[in-house]
Structure 1
Amino acid sequence: MSKKFDMELFLAAVLTGSHATRQRHVRQAKIIQAEIAERWLQETPWGWQRKHVAWFLEHRMSHRSEATRYYYLLTVRLLARRLDKSWVFYL
């Protein structure tokens, strides 16, 4: 039996801001994780490649409002910082 990946603990090193902002980033990161795990079978961010995150932003966020896409982009930037990747994404 494996332990479930703790996204909040994973992001703790890079999260700043108010409690509500931190919770939003964690919630959105869990959604990103679930979508990538379902499509690409990558359970943890350590196995993600840029194409996985780009797929999420392009295909899963395409029908969302510009504001929602922007907030998810901020969360993706935090994930990239935590993974120490130089990924750059635009809206």
Structure 2
Amino acid sequence: MSKPFDMELFLTGVLTGSHATRKRHLRQAKLIQSEIAERWQRDTPWAWQKKHMVWFLNNRLYGRSESTSYYYLLTIRLLARRLKASWVFKNCKAQETESRALRG
């Protein structure tokens, strides 16, 4: 029997911020993990590709508020940083929200 993947241990090195922020990132990362595992049978982040993250941002967050999409994008960036992946997310709802916020 295999042990379930420990997302908290996986993100320990890249999680920063307040206790509430760290808990939010963990909660969101676990949801991302479960959605990707259900759709593609990829249980651990080591098996994920950029297309899985783009799918989550564009399909599973469809109809959610811009701020929700943005916070999930931040969590996905933490996951990518932990995986040492240089993924850039263009043409997704969360990225458009961030661009508008930066422009003012």
Is the shorter-chain TM-score for this pair beyond 0.5, marking a shared fold?
Answer: yes
Amino acid corresponding to residue 68 of structure 2 in structure 1 = T
What percent of counterpart residues are identical? 71
Work out the CA distance in 1 between the residues paired with 2:60 and 2:83: 21
Match of 1:45 in 2: 45
Match of 1:23 in 2: 23
Superposition misfits of 4+ residues, deviation over 4 angstroms? none
Work out the CA distance in 2 between the residues paired with 1:62 and 1:23: 23
TM-score normalised over the length of structure 1: 0.98
Structure 2: gaps of 5 or more residues: 90-94, 97-104
* Bigger Rg, which one: 2
Q: Is 1:13 aligned to residue 13 of structure 2?
A: yes
Work out the CA distance in 2 between the residues paired with 1:4 and 1:38: 14
RMSD (Å) for aligned C-alpha atoms: 0.6
Aligned residues: 91
Q: Is 1:64 aligned to residue 64 of structure 2?
A: yes
